[in-house]
Amino acid sequence: MLNFGICHMLPEADKNSLARAYSMPYRTYHFPWYLRRLKPANLQWPRCPQEDEEHIEIVCEMATPSPWGLFERWCVLSTRHLSYRQAWENGMYAFSETDMSVAVMMQHVQEGGASSLHVAGRGTRERLTTVWTTVKSIVSELNTLLKEWPGLYTDSIIRCAHCMKTCTDNPGYFNGELLYCTAPGGIQSLRCRRTSALVDVNLVYPPSNPTDQHISNECVQLVSKKLSRTNWRPLGHVLGLEEGDIEAIEVRHSGDLNEMKYQMLQCWQRKAGQSATMAALISALRNTTVQENGIADELDKNVCPVKKPVVP
């Protein structure tokens, strides 16, 4: 159930969660499907960010109700990037795994026949890179899940940080494709189409980071060479490949372990598209079911050349 994103293991501090959990000796598992309580009234997430905070929010919009269980599975998969979570029906509040001063809110909103999935991060200007990194990692988890519904039409937007800061009703937005682009040189601000206010370009484009880029073939070869015999299949599952994909690779390349590992990573890149980034691979290598931390550390040091993703 852990591998399929049905539940996640709670740390010791979270054992008093109001969500139902199935307990085993020394382990507690959290199943978001059982949550029925409403958003806590005392949640430390005011409608408007604090004066010294910046607000980054990505929204995935659907013209239809979202598939059953999509939000819950998204929350489960996102826990690897979060800590000290507080969850309720259709929502979760947490902090970045790497920086407790960065708060994160995830929400599932139903309006009539339409629905939307939201992830927002808040932090001071000095923490803006961490805010972007955390939010993008969570969006990457959603993109992986959405591949299970190839016929589902979605549209992503980046909400205007200026509108959110000023509590503007019906806030403006920017094209979600900018999430995978770098800011054009020489441009310091963009104009909000809703209010015409100038918005700092750093609140629209994420900071340039090598781990956000797509992975070069040289890097794929390095990982496939160093990945252990017992971990290549678990890594494939963590990256979102189905058992049928892995079995097909085993049949086609029987007897050649290195080629199987290489083809598994190639298969992931083809399926994940823009989500197949260095950051996603590093996160998967550090997953508790894989634990190839040595390879992840090498990638963190940017030992491989990277290439920019192609935005359609």
Q: What Å distances lie between residue 166 and 54, 127, 163, CA to CA?
A: 11, 20, 5
- For the cut 60, the answer to whether the pLDDT of residue 124 exceeds it is yes
Q: Is 167 found in the same domain as 124?
A: yes
3-class secondary-structure state, position 177 = helix
One domain for residues 187 and 61 = yes
Asked, for residue 111, whether it belongs to a domain, the answer is: yes
Q: Are residues 251 and 203 in the same domain?
A: no
The domain boundary residue, chosen from 163, 186, 208: 208
How far apart, in whole angstroms, are the C-alpha atoms of residue 50 and residue 46? 8
188 lies in the same domain as 224: no
Residue 195: its pLDDT value, please? 95
pLDDT confidence tier of residue 117, bands split at 50, 70 and 90: very high
Parallel, antiparallel, or unpaired: how do β-strands 91-96 and 82-88 relate? antiparallel
Q: Are residues 143 and 177 in the same domain?
A: yes
On whether residue 145 sits in a domain, the answer given is yes
C-beta of residue 152 within 8 angstroms of C-beta of residue 146: yes
Q: For residue 236, what is the domain's CATH number?
A: 1.10.533.10
Domain count for the chain: 2
Q: What pLDDT shows up at residue 186?
A: 86
Q: Is residue 175 part of a domain?
A: yes
pLDDT tens string 79-104: 888 888 888 889 999 999 878 899 99
User: What global pTM score does this model have?
Assistant: 0.64
Q: Are residues 221 and 83 in the same domain?
A: no
Q: Which of 160, 188, 208 lies at the terminal end of a domain, its last residue?
A: 208
Tell me, yes or no, whether 155 and 98 share the same domain: yes
181 and 284 within one domain: no
**Is the pLDDT assigned to residue 127 strictly greater than 50?**
yes
Q: List pLDDT tens digits, range 219-251.
A: 888 899 999 999 999 999 999 898 999 999 999
Helix (H, G, I), strand (E, B) or coil at 109: strand
pLDDT digits (tens, 9 = 90+) for 251-300: 999 889 999 999 999 999 888 877 788 878 888 888 878 889 889 888 87
For 244, the token pair is 């049928």
Whether residues 193 and 243 fall in one domain: no
Residues 164 and 266 in one domain: no
Per the domain annotation, does 127 fall within a domain?
A: yes
Strand partners of residue 104:
94, 121
Residue 242 domain flag: yes
In a domain, 59, yes or no: yes
Q: What CATH number does residue 111 fall under?
A: 3.30.310.180
What range does the domain containing 275 cover? 212-307
Evaluate whether residue 312 is within a structural domain.
no
Q: Are residues 204 and 233 in the same domain?
A: no
Q: What is the dihedral of CA 66, 238, 274, 208, to 10 degrees?
A: 110
Residue ending a domain, choose from 208, 243, 274 = 208
